Amino acid sequence: MDREMVNKRGRILIVDDEAMIRRLLHQKLSREGYQCQEASSAEQALGKLTSNSIGLVILDIKMPGKSGIELLPEIRANYPDTAVIMATAVTKMDIAIECMKQGADDYIPKPFTLDEVVLSVERGLEKKRLELEIREYQQHLEQKVEEQTREIGKLFLGAIESLVFALEAKDRYTAGHSRRVTEIAVAIGRELGLCPDDIEDLRWAGLLHDVGKIAVDQLIQNKPGKLTPQEYEHIMIHATVGAGIVKPVVNEKVVEMIWHHHDHYDGSGLNQVVAGEDIPLGARILAVADAFDAMTSDRPYRPAMPVDEALNEIRPGAGTQFDPVVASALLKIPVGEIMLQKCEIC
C-alpha cells in the first residue's frame, strides 16, 4: 500500500489495554491501508490525539484507570471531526447504546471478527466525511447568502445615492454638495485617525446625509431671504427623514450620523437630545464639513465665501456649534486641494 493511499484512508488510534487485541487490529487495519497507532490507556490516547491528526479512534470501554466511557466526552469536545468506535463486551450492550447517545459513531461487540471491525471503521470514517461535507456546504451557503445580501445592500445604496445626486442636480446651489461634503469629511476622519471601517461609514453618511431633503419644500429651501423659524424647522426635518430612508440598507452608525448631522456641539441645535461627545463623532465631522461646503458655495441669498474666510467663520464656532477637535482637524487638512477638485466633482 503506497503512502498516498495510506494517508487517504486515514489515521487510526487503537486504544485497548490488551496488547494482543491492539496487535491484531493494527495488523489487519494496516493491511487494509490505514496508518495505525496504539495506546494502552486513556492518558496515552490523549497524548497521541494531541500530537497526531487522528481520523478515527477504536476505544475499549473497559480499561484500568480512566475508562473509554470517561474518555469519550473529552474526545467529542476537543476532536469533533474524529470518529469514535466503542469496543465493548456483548454482555454490556446497554453501555454501548449509552456511548452512542454520548456521540460515539459506532460500536463493535467483543469478541469481534476482524472483518466486522474493518466494516465498522469504514462506516465511521464515511459518516465523519459526510458530516464534514455537509458542514462545509452549509458554511459555503451562509457565505453565499452573506455576499448576496451585501450585494443587494450595495445596489440599494447606489440607487439612493443616485437619488441624492439627481435631487442636488436640479438645483445649481446644491449640485455636488454631498460629494464635496464626503471628500472633506473623509479627509477630516483620516486626520483624526479613524479606522478604515469608520471611514467607509463616514463616506456613506456623507453621500447620503441630505437624502431627507426629498421631503423638504423646494420653495422654502431655495428661498432667497432669511427663513422664518417655522421654515427653518421644516427644512431641518430632512435629518430625521433621511435617517429613516437609509435605515433599511445601512448600519446603525451611518443612520446615527445622518440623524445628528445638524446637532450643535453645545446642545443648542433645534430639537437636540444629545450634546458634546454624545453626538456620534461622524455626525460632528459631517457638521463641520457640511457648514464649510455651504459657506464656500453660492446660495440664493449670498455668493460663495472664499476658503480663508469660511475657515475664519468655522474657528469661532469651535466649542459651540462645532466640536473643537473636529474644527481644528479641518484647519489641518489641505482644504485648498479639495476645493480645487470641487469643480471636477460638482
| Residue numbers at the binding site for Fe ion (CB under 5 A) | 210
| Long-range Cβ pairs for the range 312-317 (8 Å, 24+) | 314/288, 317/291
Given the complex with Fe ion, which of 201 and 210 has the nearer CB atom?
Answer: 210
DSSP letters of 75-120? HHHH-TTSEEEEEEEGGGHHHHHHHHHTT--EEEEES--HHHHHHH
CB of 216 to Fe ion, least distance (A): 10
Q: How far is the CB of 174 from Fe ion (least distance, A)?
A: 10
Comparing CB distances to Fe ion, the nearer of 16 and 210 is 210
CB nearer to Fe ion: pick between 140 and 302: 302
- What is the number of the residue whose Cβ is closest to Fe ion? 210
Closest CB to Fe ion among 99 and 254? Answer: 254
Lookup result for grid cell 446603525: 252
Q: How far is the CB of 175 from Fe ion (least distance, A)?
A: 15
CB 287 to Fe ion: min, Å: 9
CB contact at 8 A, 69 and 92: no
CB of 199 to Fe ion, least distance (A): 20
Closest to Fe ion by CB, 183 vs 210, is 210
* Calpha distance 281→256 (Å, rounded): 10
Nearer to Fe ion, 60 or 210 (CB): 210
State in angstroms the smallest separation of the CB of 286 from Fe ion.
8
CA separation for the pair 205, 189 (Å, rounded):
12
Distance CA 342, CA 346 (A): 6
Nearer to Fe ion, 194 or 239 (CB): 239
Nearest-approach distance from CB 299 to Fe ion, in angstroms: 14
Kindly tell me which of 46 and 237 has the beta carbon lying closer to Fe ion. Answer: 237
Q: Where are the alpha helices (DSSP H) in the chain?
A: 3-9, 19-31, 42-51, 68-78, 93-101, 114-169, 177-191, 196-208, 218-221, 229-246, 252-259, 281-295, 307-314, 324-332, 335-340, 342-345
Q: State the amino acid at position 326 in one-letter form.
A: V
Least CB distance from residue 210 to Fe ion, whole Å?
Answer: 5
If the CB atoms of residues 125 and 245 are measured against Fe ion, the closer one turns out to be 245
Helix (H) / strand (E) containing 269: none
At 269, list the grid cell: 441645535
3-class DSSP assignment, residue 39: strand
Judged by phi (left if over 0) then psi (alpha if -120 to 50, else beta), residue 194 lies in beta
User: What's the min distance (Å) between Cβ of 240 and Fe ion?
Assistant: 11
Name the nearest CA neighbour of 67 among 17, 12, 19: 17
DSSP structure class, residue 200? H
